[in-house]
Amino acid sequence: MTTVNGIKNPSKQIASKQTVSKQTIFLVIVGLSALSISLIYQPLPENFPQPWKYRFLSFWAHLFSKIGYLGEQVNLFDRIHVLRFLYYIAVGCFQIRDPQHHLKVYDRKILNISVRIYEPEEFAHEDKMPTVIHFHGGGWLLGCRETYDQVTYALANLTPTAVNNVVKYDNISRTAKFNRKEEDCLEQAAFMLQEWGVSVKIAEFIELSKEYATFLNKSNLFSNGTPTYDWFYCFLNRHLNLIVYDRKILNISVRIYEPEEFAHEDKMPTVIHFHGGGWLLGCRETYDQVTYALANLTRALVISVEYRRVPEHYFPAALDDCTLITYELFRNAANYRIDVNRITLAGDSAGGNLALVITQSLLRDGFSPRAACLIYPALQFFDFTLPSYRLYLPRNILGVINEQNFLEVMSELTQSKIKVTRDVLFNNHTSAKDKKRLRPYVDAQKYLPISLPFDSDEEGDEDLIQNLSFLISPKMSPLLVSDEELSKLPPIILFTTEYDILRDEGFIFAERLKSLNKTLYHHHFPTTFHGAHLLIHGPISFNIAYEMIEHIARKIHENL
């Protein structure tokens, strides 16, 4: 062996150490990768759509949910606010609008050039409006009306003089020449001056957008094609011919989506939409992409209701808000240019629960909704031993639909905020008398093809029975009503998903309606999960989401 002054060759020693270091780094990387995969991995059906995207989403949602719990224990932050913030990120919605701003927002084309218009409601009947024509920045390469929406919305709301229209050119492409962009802007200004007789101010803002992130090789998460989305504040896919505005009805905030073709109509087909989110999450902002798509695809007036949520408010605050809005629209339909004979109630999850409860209430009071569209609705809080609960509650769907959060929501729904224990999962919140009375309405052995019997007529926990009695009332469990009441329902459009704790109650509801020969359209998505239809745009979007929205909208349109 070669030595230098009695020492082994130092170059070989260095090379040997480098080899060992590389091997160590490689083993560490492999180990961390294996650990990450083991933490993220969860078994899914073979035909589950985009399984690894779902696994990553569930893992991170669950992790941050746990961080929220820990942070709340040491008084660092409110867990509910963490969950809501994560929900906003998940659906990519930071486009906050306020009904007090009284702005109508809609897209249209002028001289075949796309513009977005922000029109204060106070100018609805004015012939001349002061106007700002806005041309977005971005170095002639970046920016679009979506990425500037927050700026131009604020400009329309905050400009000292009344602002009618904030308009932007949207002809940005790699091949468009500079003079073409300049001509677009000049044509817009000339048209506004000559045709509308407005006075003009031009405002300029500069803000980086992702419109050409793919072109700039910044990230493969983004696309400069359709659908477009904006990572920084919202994932929107806007179309022409829809006017969107927020307002208050009976002091309750709603967002209204009005097809332009109904501008001069006295009676419009209408969908009243109640968002989901377990009475805890969700709002008109996080559902904007869903309700916008529904309005565009159904070409109906869509009214999205912003109801009060837990934990700030307890049961029946959400139901009261949605009931007030719905009854107002039925009783005074003409005031809102609504065709009272063509009103459909719709909602998903908790929103589906509200839609069915209110439909039943309307029928008792002599009103006739056209249909009810229920997307994986929560229909009963009587039996938590149904196969889908026992199978999927431990699976931690989307990282947040799990036992801990499920029990927490029930606690928050109560006025006294009692601690709801795991006893509820064994139906110990119901008395022996209630079990005997209500079992026929949710009989898994009768209505489900596969049943995991867990029948018990034992008396439940006295405190739970007393504090959670509202859960098994028809106002919270619309499935727990007689066949006579179900037989009065209008046509029902029902969607269920396989990967869902609410799957079985949806099937039981469908089977009960079939036995009564009721008009029912039931479609089961066999390869997807609860909440999938929300994930339409953005880097965590799922291909199945827009398919679901199109299917839902098509059936609503057919029944309007």
Q: C-alpha distances in angstroms, 501 versus 64, 287, 401, 454, 523?
A: 22, 21, 9, 16, 17
Q: C-alpha distances in angstroms, 369 versus 239, 330, 557?
A: 28, 9, 14
For residue 261, the Cα-to-chain-centroid distance in whole angstroms is 26
Q: Using an 8 Å Cβ cutoff, are 103 and 120 in contact?
A: yes
Q: Using an 8 Å Cβ cutoff, are 164 and 199 in contact?
A: no
Q: Using an 8 Å Cβ cutoff, are 230 and 236 in contact?
A: yes
Q: How many CA within 13 A on the CB side of residue 307?
A: 33
Tokens of 535: 């994930």
- Determine the Cα–Cα distance for residues 107 and 113; give it in Å rounded to an integer: 10
493: Cβ contacts below 8 Å, ≥ 6 apart: 371, 372, 373, 374, 521, 552, 555, 556, 559
User: Which of these, 210, 202, 138, 208, lies nearest to 176 by C-alpha position?
Assistant: 138
Phi and psi torsions of 87, nearest 5°: -65, -40
- Determine the Cα–Cα distance for residues 280 and 282; give it in Å rounded to an integer: 7
- Determine the Cα–Cα distance for residues 372 and 552; give it in Å rounded to an integer: 12
Q: Using an 8 Å Cβ cutoff, are 549 and 294 in contact?
A: yes
- Determine the Cα–Cα distance for residues 318 and 316; give it in Å rounded to an integer: 6
- Determine the Cα–Cα distance for residues 428 and 421; give it in Å rounded to an integer: 10
Q: Using an 8 Å Cβ cutoff, are 399 and 90 in contact?
A: no
- Determine the Cα–Cα distance for residues 95 and 153; give it in Å rounded to an integer: 10
Kindly report the CA angle at 118 between 147 and 208, in degrees rounded to 5?
15
Q: What residues are labeled active site?
A: 349
Residue 351, classified by CB atoms within 10 Å of its CB into exposed (0-12), middle (13-18) or buried (19+), is buried
**What one-character DSSP code corresponds to residue 382?**
S
43 residue type, one letter: P
